[in-house]
Amino acid sequence: TPADAANVLRHGASWLARDPRRLSPALLADAFRPVAAHLRRAPAGLRQFVDGQLLIAAQTTSAHANALYGAAALDLPRRGIVHLTGGMGGLAATLAQAIQRHGGRVLYRQEASRILRQPRQPIIVATKSGGRFTADVVIANLTPWNIAALLGDDLPRPLRRLPSQPRTGWGAFMLYVGLDEQAVPNGGPLHHQVITGEPLGEGNSLFLSLSPGWDANRAPDGQRALTISTHTELSPWWQLFHGDRAAYESRKRQYTEHILAAAEVALPGLRDAARLILPGTPITFQRFTRRVWGWVGGFPQTSLFQAWGPRLTPNMWLVGDTIFPGQSTAATALGGLRVAQAILRSTGQPSPRPQAAPPVHQLHPSGD
């Protein structure tokens, strides 16, 4: 929105005023060029490492990821990764409690099935189980394709130019593993990046995350939870799923075997230690998250100037990994804060003061 642009200019000007040396032509160039501009003389191993990190954080590699976005994304793990007790579930529970504390209601197992807009009337959100909710403002935490499906033919302008399917971006192939904790080296890192070849993705690059040993909520006694993911193209999975179910199952097995073997580089003995292995494809993602085609990660961050704006209409807003700064817990939270402030501004209400950080006992630096 124009207010957002003014905000960026105001913040940018005050940041530059604090140290005029920041006004460097290289920094300006970085707003337009890819990370690769900084890696021309980098050893191949470093470039691959950066590509692996960027693929997770920016959904594209150094040849395409915008340099300013890439700098922020690469800095995130360097600032320190933390784990919450209970993992992602703990985060969701904390957010739900915050909503309730502020007088809100959280309704579980309610799927929005329709959004009805009427001129000069509140919006109505209908749910599959027959609920109808009227709202002055709707904030949709969905992909643009999911929102378009809920609106039917009544699409706001930004959704009218939506291609029939995402042309860029990814799906994920996942392994959810339960393993004996003896296979996890004592005091070792909880996150690993494994690269076995290029192009990255499709099992050539893996990202492993282990549950911390101190978190008894994540796995039975003596075991750990492990997730392994690789970026994968959506269409081959859907073609096989609809056209040749046996080939779909066989591809799933191939990916599982290849990934487990490759992951042994980081966790030797993984296959013997695994008690449970559940594979997930883009079809699984669509089923459990309702994201169309199992499209995850939002749009690759190739340009600062092509991002989706969060305002669909004056009273319908978009949050989540589609809007800048894209995917990850940190980025979607930042995008959400920006939208909350914009809505408060547009309704003439003051922005609340920043909240205190969560109690320290819930946050743990990464490590065993």
Instruction: Give first-to-last CA distance, the chain, whole Å.
Output: 44
CB of 172 to ligand FAD, least distance (A): 4
Cβ-based neighbour number of residue 254 at 10 Å: 11
Q: Taking CB under 6 A as the criterion, which residues in 203-222 touch ligand FAD?
A: 209
68 binds ligand FAD (CB under 6 A): no
Radius of gyration of the CA atoms of the chain, in A: 22
| 8 A C-beta contact, residue 346 and residue 314 | yes
Q: Cβ–Cβ contacts within 10 Å for residue 338, how many?
A: 17
Binding mask 271-290 for ligand FAD (x = CB under 6 A): ------------------xx
Contact flag: residue 296 with ligand FAD (CB under 6 A)? yes
Residue 36 vs 285, nearer CB to ligand FAD: 285
The interface with ligand FAD within residues 220-249 (CB under 6 A) comprises 229
Q: Is residue 53 close enough to count as binding ligand FAD by CB under 6 A?
A: no
Q: Does residue 146 bind ligand FAD (CB under 6 A)?
A: yes
Task: Report the side by side order of strands in the sheet with 311-313.
Answer: 138-140, 316-318, 311-313
CA angle (110 as vertex; 281, 120 as ends), nearest 5: 115
According to CB under 6 A, which residues from 174 to 193 bind ligand FAD? 174
Site for ligand FAD in 324-343 (CB under 6 A): 327-330, 332
CB of 87 to ligand FAD, least distance (A): 10
- Given 138, 203, 312, 321, the residue binding ligand FAD (CB under 6 A): 321
- Give the Cα separation of 291 and 195 in Å (integer): 27
Nearest in space to 54 (alpha carbons), one of 219, 201, 254:
201
Residues of the shown chain interacting with ligand FAD in the complex, contacts defined by CB under 6 A: 111-112, 141-142, 146, 172, 174, 209, 229, 289-291, 296, 320-321, 327-330, 332
